[in-house]
Structure 1
Amino acid sequence: MIRTVVVAGALLLGIGVVAAQQDALKSAQAIMKANGKSLGGVLGPMNKGEKPYDQAAVNEALNTLDDTAKKLPTMFPESIKGMKAEGDYSPSSKIWEDKAGFTASIATFAKTVTDAKASVKDLNTLKAAFPAIGKSCGGCHETFRVKNS
């Protein structure tokens, strides 16, 4: 009887761990999708002249990116290493294998966003800041995410 209770408890604990890992992965995906909307749905179209410049929307987009920069250091716990996310991309194992590089990429992204928040006040300053934001965001993707097959 005690053995059955121990086994059942271990199974429930294991299920709880897997659920927590999946929640962490889904949370990271949601945060990255919000980044994508900020860059590709707000800042990019304004930068290209496809949408009119809107300072409130720019501020909101930059705040979203800034929030992500603050969350990134803890968004990918070791426990999700090797997990495949739903959708097109998953975290690369390089996140954990090259922790120093990942940390440096996060720092670059955070500084770029902080600088943009301080400098972007009109379309011209957005056009000056946007390439660096895109480069720091995309550069991390090139190294630290993989396309699901």
Structure 2
Amino acid sequence: MDRDPRASPAAQPVNGDLPRGRNKRPPRGSIDVADLPRTRRAGEIPMKRTMIVAGTLLLGAGAVMAQQEIAVQQDNLMRSIAKNQYGVLQKMSKGDIPFDKAAADQAIAAIEADVAKIAKIFEINPKQDVVNATYGSSPKVWQNKADFDSKIPPVQKAIADVKGKITDNASLKAAYTSINDRCNDCHETYRVKLK
């Protein structure tokens, strides 16, 4: 048997119980380096710190992506309004495309639906602009949100006043001008040109 006759039987390790898989016990009075607390070697980064940094970077990247998503939603809403207002109503009123009552009514209905979403979509300040966008939202939107929101009902009223009343190019021009003027009341203060 591999026991030291001077040690008590409970304190004496047996062959399979030797620390760290060693075949021999260290000499009496010596320090076993494996039992000492481990210190960092030069260039070694503790795993805990690495995980904290990586987690923080992932959270930060997630927040940036979420902010960009909000900015994209806001930009898409404004582009949808512009597509109908400028791409249909303005072009038709200028004679760039032929007058089409059904198309004009459809554009008015789409603008009306999109304008109703503005207050909700612009609740959160994304604190950044959409990459490569021509226009963006001024920080004033969130600095004076009540005033920004107060600009929406006049646009809705202008739309309601012309809805279903467009019969020819002259009435289309009047409708376009009325709606566009109310939109510009907001754009003068709350829209910024980025490019």
TM-score per shorter chain, which class? 0.7 to 0.9
- 2:141 matches 1:95: yes
RMSD: 2.1
TM-score by length of 1: 0.84
Structure 2 residue runs without a partner (length 5+): 1-46
Between Structure 1 and Structure 2, the one with more helix by share is: 1
Work out the percentage of aligned pairs sharing the same amino acid: 38
Please state if 1:49 is matched with 2:77. no
Aligned residue pairs total 148
Unaligned runs of 5+ in 1: none
1:15 equivalenced with 2:81 (yes/no) = no
The list of structure 1 runs, each at least 4 consecutive aligned residues, that deviate by more than 6 angstroms after superposition, is: none
Corresponding residue for residue 110 of structure 1: 156
Is 1:146 aligned with 2:146?
no
CA contact (8 A) 2:68 2:129 kept: no
Q: Structure 1, residues 45-87: CA drift from partner, whole Å, max 9, x if none? A: 2222332221221122112211221110022243413x13332
1:2-55 CA-to-partner distances (Å, cap 9, x unmatched) read: 554444333222211211111111122122122222122211122223322212
Q: Return the TM-score normalized by structure 2.
A: 0.66
C-alpha distance in 2 between matches for 1:72 and 1:7: 38
Corresponding residue of 1:59: 105
- Structure with the bigger RCO (C-alpha within 8 Å, sep 6+) is 1
